[in-house]
Amino acid sequence: MKILFITHRMPKVPGKGDQVRAFQQMKSLVKKGHTVHFLFQEKDEAHWCCASSLIEGSGKEKQKMKVKNKTLSIIRSFLLKGYPLSVSLHSFPVLKAFLTSITSQVHYDVIHIQSKVLHNFSSLNIPNSTMVVDYIDAISLNLERRYHWAKNPLEKLAVKGELGRMKKYESFIRDQGVKTIITSPADKEFLHSRRAKQVNVVPNYIDLSYFHLNHSIEDKKKALVFTGTMNYAPNVDAAMRLVKDIYLPLREKFSDLECWLVGAYPSADVQKLSKISGVMVTGFVEDIRPWQWKAAVYVCPLRFGAGQQNKILEAAALGCSIVMSNITNSGIGFTHNEEALICEQNKEFVEHTEQLLINRELAAKLAGRAREFVAHRFSEEVVTDRLISTYTKADNY
């Protein structure tokens, strides 16, 4: 097949969730023998590239187009059309003309569009091409959860406004009548409750050749670790909760305990945590694996968010013992006390984490089962076959 991806950022690894997802999907499709191109906007230019050149690192592109009146387009989308801010920031009318030009040169069997750029292509009809929209996750679900936990009145007001806009935008996606994909069954069920149809679950996969066990590290350090982009609201909240409500109580029992917050772009609030004894805020690191190989427990106390947490797939593949919230697990599917310890309350997080710090036999058992689970459920082969099946199956919903 010939497949065109349209993404709202340049696909790359490492990167944010949407970037990693698109890169993974394109890479696996190329390995299967499909021809894959991608279209994305960066700064003031739209780029049309071959996925194979991105994967090989050559950076060669087929064509690019200048984006004009970018700021005006963003303002118009937000104020006049009522799109969510997170969508309006990716408003580039030139993309529709660029796509029309591209499809006059190349016929694509599938056009795979990330949802945040779909509004640039409304009412677009490309004959004999299957259109697939990737929600990635149910953003309105994330916003509902965030609204519940927001304490600042201005933040609650802003989140409520964005939530209303996002619900309308997700209805707009539904009304396009095209196939859609999403990362987790929980997000699919949420969208179904809002009358979305043709939603297929295509999770992210884990590259087990990269996220592998490290048998050279015999003794884990007495440390808790949490990873992620540290200016992303769910991660900021989780980092603050981990340090203040979980790590500090445990520190009273384990005086040599450390807490590592590993990830790029730490917010001001996250950076302040480094002033607490034993807490390390790394900022960007080239390779997150050593931090997880060495830490005794991976703790993920997310209170809001949506979709599938790649950080958990990675931690499991690297052999971490994991303590996490139910929301974190909603896109994974672990069973409590089988692959991980799953809880909600701060007291439970403290107790479960202490249990794994003391009982290293249990920690090793859970870690082994978690790795087996993700290797079976989220392998590249399984996930890629599911994506291709979505592309090719008949529209009989």
pTM: 0.88
The one-letter code for the residue type at 44 is D
pLDDT tens, 254-274?
A: 999 999 999 999 999 999 999
Say whether domain 223-378 belongs to CATH 3.40.50.2000: yes
**CB-count exposure of residue 79 (10 Å: 0-12, 13-18, 19+):** exposed
- 206: helix, coil or strand? coil
Q: Tokens 């696996």 — which residue?
A: 28
- Beta strand pairing status for 45-50 and 35-42? antiparallel
Contact 292, 317 (CB under 8 A): no
**Where, residue-wise, is CATH 3.40.50.2000 in the chain?**
223-378
Q: What is the DSSP string of 45-100?
A: EEEEEEHHHHHHT---EEEEEE--SHHHHHHIIIIIS---HHHHTT--THHHHHHH
Is a pLDDT exceeding 70 seen at residue 389? yes
Q: 62 falls in which pLDDT band (50, 70, 90)?
A: confident
What is the model's pLDDT at position 393? 83
Sequence-ordered list of residues with C-beta below 8 angstroms from that of 160, at least 6 positions apart, any chain:
147
**Percent share of the chain, pLDDT over 90:** 78
pLDDT digits 0-9 by tens, 144-190 = 999 998 889 999 999 999 999 999 999 999 888 889 999 999 999 99
Burial status of residue 38 (CB atoms within 10 A of its CB: 0-12, 13-18, 19 or more): buried
pLDDT, one tens digit per residue, over 71-129 is 899 999 999 999 999 999 999 888 888 998 899 899 999 999 999 999 998 777 788 88
Reported as a pLDDT band with limits 50, 70 and 90, residue 396 is: very low
Q: Which fold has domain 2-205+380-392?
A: Rossmann fold (3.40.50)
pLDDT by residue (tens digit) across 128-145?
889 999 999 999 999 999
